[in-house]
Amino acid sequence: MIVTYAAVPAEKTQADIFKSNKHWLHALIKCYEVIGCAPDIVFPMNPKDVTFIEQMKVRLPDKDLGDNELFQLIEEEIMTQADYKIIIDNGFAAWQIPFVASIQNPPIKQNKLTALRITLKFIQVGMRVGKNQKYWNKCEIPMKFHT
């Protein structure tokens, strides 16, 4: 289940594979060619989408880190007891959208379009995962998960 290591045998930097799903998928394909065997299982999500889905603050290559440094999830307390009350009183979505917007780097401004912007990002992640799954299905390679 190679995600970020794909850059090494593909002779790309971490910044390169964060540029787009296409860059990452090409690096992953090249990685398996260099290794000389087909994967026994693949993780169908690129590293940039992984950092969004994790819903943690993150440091990214070529943004907060050097071009060839691995992304870093910042493990700190960002959810408080007050957040649980919001979830209980108003539901998970009422909490999740502003939370996800607030932890982006840079944070997404809270306004009338915030929910739409975050929802669109989730949809885009799903579409990219779907494209990756389609590719790996054609290769008859099992995946860690299916959408």
Q: Which residues, at least 6 apart from 145, have a Cβ–Cβ distance to it below 8 Å?
A: 44
What's the pLDDT at 1?
65
pLDDT(143) > 80: yes
Any domain includes 145: no
Q: For 8-18, how does the pLDDT look when each residue is reduced to its tens digit (9 = 90+)?
A: 999 999 999 99
**80 pLDDT more than 80:** yes
Token pair for 71: 């992304």
Other beta carbons within 10 angstroms of residue 63's beta carbon come to 12
Q: Which residues pair with 58 in a beta bridge?
A: 73
Position 27 pLDDT exceeds 90: yes
pLDDT for the residue numbered 8: 95
Does residue 147 form part of some domain? no
Residue 127 pLDDT greater than 80, yes or no: yes
Whole-number mean pLDDT of the chain?
Answer: 93
Q: How far is CA 11 from CA 83, 96, 112, 124, in A?
A: 43, 37, 43, 27
Looking at the domain assignment, is residue 88 inside a domain? yes
Q: What is the mean pLDDT of residues 51-64?
A: 92
| Residue 42 β-bridge partners | 143
Residue 91 scores a pLDDT above 90: yes
CA distances 36 to 8, 29, 31, 69, 138, Å, are 14, 11, 8, 25, 19
Q: Judge whether 143 lies within some domain.
A: no
Overall average pLDDT of the 21-41 stretch: 93
Question: Domain total for the chain?
Answer: 1
Q: Does 144 reside within a domain?
A: no
Identify the domain containing residue 98 by its residue range.
Answer: 5-138
105 band by pLDDT with thresholds 50, 70 and 90 = confident
Tell me 58's DSSP state.
E
User: Is residue 146 included in any domain, yes or no?
Assistant: no
92 in any annotated domain: yes
What is the pLDDT, as a whole number, of residue 106? 86
What is the rounded CA–CA span in Å between residue 57 and residue 73? Answer: 6
Give 147's pLDDT tier (boundaries 50, 70, 90): confident
Confidence (pTM): 0.86
113 within a domain of the structure (yes/no) = yes
pLDDT tops 80 at residue 146: no
